[in-house]
Chains A and B, each alone.
Chain A
């Protein structure tokens, strides 16, 4: 599996996207905090967090006895650069070409 595959797979699940949104609101949360508003077993949440960690979207740090979870937005930025910017650029240049063509013939 490539890095991109792992990120797309991780993002293709509503619970995992919800976990990322929770971390976006406030980073450095414990498993207990993250599972508090999910109707899911602790084990289920841990499994989702592991998929996010494998994709590099969540990083963990030990703080005393607690394991804190941090959102890492870099893989999403890389997906953006690779899969969104490229196509947007082409769209923009197509529109620019259309504009100059229309203005030339006018």
Chain B
């Protein structure tokens, strides 16, 4: 995605054959996130004002930190986001990630991820542009087949 200019607001969506509760569990439970989120464990109590952390599964390194802004299971999760895995993104201000879960007809759930407030975080915007696509397609595959994506996860 090197030719894509960094976007201050990015929106991604995927339709998943699963219930809103299953999608909520997949985004909030570490046993699921390690299987599609670049191998990272989510760590949070999901209470507004408490930390949101994404930790590398095999070593105890925090890759993303943020704060829970809103948690309304199984509909909305909103938190801030700062990527610590790269010194350049670690020096940028927090941006915001919103997960919106909506039941559709026929046992399908729509999951929309909006990553915004990236105006002052161009390196982060560039870094996540391809990343969300892999995360969401991996999440869909995991929930629909019970298996992680067989192809490369980055």
Look across to chain A and name the residue whose beta carbon is closest to the beta carbon of B111: A74
Would A73 and B12 count as touching, CB distance under 8 A? yes
Tell me the minimal C-beta distance from B14 to chain A in angstroms.
5
**Number of B residues whose C-beta is below 8 Å from A?**
23
Give the residues in chain A near B10, CB-CB below 8 Å.
Answer: 27, 70
Tell me the minimal C-beta distance from B95 to chain A in angstroms.
15
Tell me the minimal C-beta distance from A54 to chain B in angstroms.
11
Would A70 and B15 count as touching, CB distance under 8 A? no
Report B4-44 residues with CB < 8 Å from chain A CB: 4-5, 7-15
A44-52, A77-85, A93-101: which one contacts chain B? A77-85
Residue of A3, A61, A75 touching B11 (CB-CB under 8 A): A61
Distance of A78 Cα from B140 Cα, bound (Å): 9
| Cβ-based interface call for A26 (8 A) | yes
| Cβ-based interface call for B149 (8 A) | yes
Q: How big is chain A's contact interface, by range?
A: 10 to 19
Look across to chain A and name the residue whose beta carbon is closest to the beta carbon of B149: A81
| Cβ-based interface call for A59 (8 A) | yes
Would B151 and A81 count as touching, CB distance under 8 A? yes
Would A28 and B7 count as touching, CB distance under 8 A? yes
Give the residues in chain A near B4, CB-CB below 8 Å.
Answer: 24-25
Distance of A10 Cα from B105 Cα, bound (Å): 21
Most chain A CB within a 10 A radius of its CB, from B5, B11, B12, B151: B11
Tell me the minimal C-beta distance from B78 to chain A in angstroms.
15
Would B149 and A28 count as touching, CB distance under 8 A? no
Would A74 and B137 count as touching, CB distance under 8 A? yes
Q: List B residues at the A interface (Cβ < 8 Å).
A: 3-5, 7-15, 112, 114, 132-134, 136-137, 140-141, 149, 151
A-B residue pairs in contact (CB < 8 Å), sample of 9? A24-B4, A28-B7, A70-B11, A72-B11, A72-B12, A73-B12, A74-B14, A81-B137, A81-B149
Q: List A residues at the B interface (Cβ < 8 Å).
A: 3, 24-28, 56, 59, 61, 68, 70, 72-75, 77-78, 81, 85
Rank and list the top 5 A-B pairs by shortest CB-CB distance, nearest first: A70-B11, A27-B7, A77-B137, A59-B11, A74-B14
